Amino acid sequence: MGPTNVDIDPKLAWDEVYSAPGKPRPIYRSVVDEIGRYGEGELQTRFDQLGRTFRERGVTFAHDGEERPFPLDLIPRIISAVEWDTLASGIRQRVLALEAFLGDVYQHGVCFDDGLIPRSLITSSQHFCREAVGIVPSHSARITVSGVDLIRDEEGHFRVLEDNLRIPSGVSYVIENRRAMTQSFGSLFSNQRVHPVDEYPQRLLAALRRSAPEEVRDPTVVVLTPGVHNAAYFEHVLLARLMGVELVEGSDLVTVGNRVLLRTTEGERPVHVIYRRVDDEWLDPLHFRPDSLIGVAGLVNAARANTVTIANALGNGVADDKLIYTFVPDIIRYYRNEEPILKNVESYRLDDPEVFGDVIGRLGDFVVKPVDGSGGKGIVIGPQADERTLVNLRKEVEANPRGFIAQRPVALSTLPTYVNGKLAPRHVDLRPFAINDGRDVWVLPGGLTRVALPEGALVVNSSQGGGSKDTWVLASPETFEAAPSDHANGRTLRPVANFVARQVDPRHPSEAEQ
């Protein structure tokens, strides 16, 4: 059994900026010096200016039913060139492995025969899409866009918290954060060589165009949005504008003879690639929810006929399932024949009776997540939960063990953040974005650093009231402190498995990850 009475001590969190009190890490030194020259009044003025910039540009996010400016903090997050190379390599490795996994799941299922993962775990996933079976992209990727959520643990190691392979959002804030920071804090950039982030829209457009059906030479690409009431509508508008393509709703499209057409004032025009920002269940009322008014009737049939490409592909959500997340290290070993570059957070599969028995009696020692959750919804951070919450959680987990995983509580790393007129440490994560064009994976040098604004909070999601920071990836190997080496964590609970091809008993999918 693992330790009891687990607590998440903020003092144990890795400080991104300071290696010791008053001693900034080398890559932050110039920023700390610059900020240190500002008085309290100037800091407030510049913070207010960032807010005005976002309001004027309409950079908003829906929270509690209200459109609000997306909070952007003054202090950037900085990642050295060498550390970024490792992160980008790890993300690329992960996306390519999951791409191969999804192709296998929806075609031949060799991974089931080889004992990588029980077939029942796939078919019981809420996001497994039977309609996607047999839809084979000719030369495109199933995972065109991905957002891999990373955290840095107490010892400074980056770890993967979850994969977002359905409709990852947030890249618009990466672009707008940089624009606002260069306008309001141009002097901060004077001593840094920072990778730009404005290449993303054209990289995405190139990948989408390449994904078009093979015979199409000049494809028409559209962005399909659920409409103005969607929380990420600002992003849909921005990406469509920056790519120079049409932003459409379901009512703008029609299928005729398994071909998708765009209604225009000049008549109907063929559509070859749809970058959809609509969930699977709402995408086609003929195959999914018949009451959907935001989808396109017949779209799945058109995709099956290979007259249109849907990006990201149908059914990707099965690889977002947090139970499947626990298998990703083994998925990398199986499909890539490589050791994972980036480790998962230590996780426990509650569908395994022995693990369930170890965890259920002390849920207060773990972070418990619904396997199909998103946006931070449904997460219970055991050490911060009250007794009533834990009692209700236990009932839910006992009723549906397959529906939850447990993880070791991690004190996410902290960055100084401007809150209530002063700088104070707040927990952060990082969502880098990757584009897969069917040949290789490009990772945007930067990403969305999200901040949990309430003191001590660990849920950073924008939908839960979080903010963000501009993320700087240095363009050359500056002096930096190397990331700490990894080591065994000394757990005693039985965590998840190391996979050795053809040597895993599929009846026992939860052997210990070393």
Residue ranges per structural domain of the chain: 10-95+115-126+137-194+327-346+411-514, 214-307, 348-407
Lowest mean per-residue pLDDT among 59-68, 233-242, 288-297, 419-428: 59-68
The four Cα atoms 483, 485, 486, 490 give a dihedral, to 10 degrees, of -120
* Residues paired with residue 471 on neighbouring β-strands, in sequence order: 77
**510 vs 382 pLDDT, higher one:** 382
Q: What angle do CA 197, 234, 42 make, to 5 degrees?
A: 65
Among 9-18, 19-28, 151-160, the range scoring the smallest mean pLDDT is 9-18
Asked if the model's pLDDT at residue 107 lies above 90, the reply is yes
pLDDT surpassing 70 at residue 454: yes
Q: Determine the CATH number of domain 214-307.
A: 3.40.50.11290
Per-residue confidence band for 64, with pLDDT thresholds at 50, 70 and 90: low
Domains 214-307 and 348-407 share a fold: no
Asked if residue 68 has pLDDT above 70, the reply is no
pLDDT of res. 463: 62
Question: What's the pLDDT score for residue 63?
Answer: 58
Q: Which helix (H) or strand (E) holds 427?
A: strand 422-431
Which pTM was predicted? 0.89
Report residue 377's pLDDT band, with 50, 70 and 90 as the boundaries.
Answer: confident
What is the predicted pLDDT for the residue at 71? 84
Over range 385-404, report the average pLDDT.
95
**What is the b/e burial string over 298-336, where b = at least 16 CB atoms within 10 angstroms of the residue's CB?**
bbbbbbbeebbbbbbbbbbbbbbbbbbbbbbbbbbbbbe
What confidence tier does 66 reach under pLDDT thresholds 50, 70, 90? Answer: low
More confident residue, 99 or 36: 99
pLDDT at 57 over 90: no
Looking at residue 465, its pLDDT comes to 66
> Using one digit for the tens of pLDDT, what is the confidence trace for 175-208?
999 999 998 888 888 778 999 999 999 999 999 9
Considering only residues 253 and 484, tell me which one the structure prediction assigns the higher pLDDT.
253
SS3 assignment, position 433: strand
Rounded to an integer, the average pLDDT of 422-447 is: 95
CA distance 216 to 272: 8
Amino acid 358: pLDDT? 93
The CATH topology of domain 348-407 is Dna Ligase; domain 1 (3.30.1490)
- The Cα 286–Cα 300 span in angstroms is 8
What pLDDT sits at residue 479?
39
Q: Say which range, 316-320, 397-401, 477-481, has the weakest mean pLDDT.
A: 477-481
At 8, the pLDDT band (50, 70, 90 cuts) reads low
- The mean-pLDDT minimum among 420-429, 439-448, 487-496, 499-508 falls in 499-508
Residue 459 CA to residue 455 CA, distance in Å, equals 11
77-79 and 471-473 strand pairing: parallel
Counted residue by residue, the chain has a size of 514
Name, in order, each residue with C-beta under 8 angstroms of 465's C-beta and a sequence gap of 6 or more: 63, 453, 454
Per-residue pLDDT at 478:
46
Rounded mean pLDDT of 134-159? 92
pLDDT given for residue 453 in this prediction: 87
Q: What is the pLDDT of residues 265-274, one digit of tens each?
A: 899 999 999 9
Rounded Cα distance between 233 and 351, Å, is 37
What average pLDDT is seen over the chain? 87
Position 497 pLDDT exceeds 60 = no
**Strand ranges for 246-294 from DSSP E:** 246-248, 253-256, 259-264, 267-270, 273-276
Section 454-469 average pLDDT: 79
Structure confidence by residue, pLDDT tens digits, 168-184? 999 999 999 999 999 88
